[in-house]
Amino acid sequence: MSQFREEKTDSLEYYQRKVKELRTENTKVLMSNAGYREAIANMNRLSAKTDNYGSFTLFTSVVSADFSKFNNDHTPVGFSPLSGQVWGIGFGLSYKKKRRIFDLDFGTVGIRKRSTKANEEIRSSFLTLFQFEWGYDLTRSNRFNIYPYAGFGFRTSYINYSSGERNINPNATNLSEIVINSRGGVSGDQNALSLQAGLGLETVLTKPSKNGGVILFAKAGTNQAVGSKPIDFSGVKYDPQLKYGNIDITIGFKFFGR
């Protein structure tokens, strides 16, 4: 029995339980200390007054698009034209300290555009990756901020062509000869460095006495490609000149803590 007790009091589980008990006891002692409680209260009071924050962001964006070259090349042969803006959704992080606002957008995925002709289809999509932007707040308020910003990142334009047409060979003598031309297609992407600039606005939706909450923000600016090249479609180079981002508007929420 003495050997059994020695093993029980000299085990990993025993010391884990002992450390937990000591932490609980010391936490209770610390929380009962008047000086500690006063320091916590003052820290929270002053933290709520600061305009600094760290946050996770969710947003939607609308990006202007010019499809003139693409439509000029494809509508004469029967494809429907592409038109309108590109809507997308994205997420990232935002951080503010001493008027400086840093935004890192991990990615924005746009809704695809489609151009069709009978059984043929061309799909085009636009997305951004790792957009970093630096802004400077002009108000230094913990409720409302106005800030010009500039930054850089990466962007991708993707195009896919697919055909559902099949020609049947009436003189086939085996299964492999029945279909002359089966469903096929080509695809390619156009990657480029991007430069962004514009003006941002944001306002806190929650009570100013809180150390965290929700910020509504909006940004309006431009997103320009740098050094884009023609798309390589299985060895054939073609540039549809899809001009995305002359106007780039973003609206979303920052879930922040002071």
Q: Are 251 and 217 in contact (CB under 8 A)?
A: yes
Dist. CA 171–CA 232, nearest whole Å: 37
Q: Annotate 19-40 with b (16+ C-beta within 10 A) or e (fewer).
A: eeeeeeeeeeeeeeeeeeeeee
Residue 107 pLDDT exceeds 60: yes
pLDDT digit string, tens, across residues 161-187: 887 765 666 765 444 444 555 556 778
Mean pLDDT, residues 52-66 taken together = 94
Instruction: Give percent of the chain above pLDDT 70.
Output: 85
> Torsion angle of alpha carbons 230, 233, 236, 241, nearest 10°?
-30
pLDDT digit string, tens, across residues 28-44: 887 888 777 777 667 66
Residue 239 pLDDT exceeds 90: no
Two structure tokens written together for 175: 């299964």
Residue 244 pLDDT exceeds 80: yes
Q: Are 96 and 159 in contact (CB under 8 A)?
A: no
Indicate the DSSP class of residue 80. Answer: P
Residue 71 pLDDT exceeds 60: yes
Q: Are 169 and 182 in contact (CB under 8 A)?
A: no
Residue 246 pLDDT exceeds 60: yes
Dist. CA 135–CA 197, nearest whole Å: 9
Instruction: For the domain covering 51-257, report its CATH number.
Output: 2.40.160.20
Report the mean per-residue pLDDT for the chain: 84
pTM: 0.74
pLDDT at 187: 83
pLDDT digit string, tens, across residues 249-258: 999 999 998 8
Sorted by where each begins, the domain ranges of the chain are 2-32, 51-257
Residue 67 pLDDT exceeds 50: yes
Query: How would you classify the pairing of strands 236-238 and 184-204?
Result: unpaired
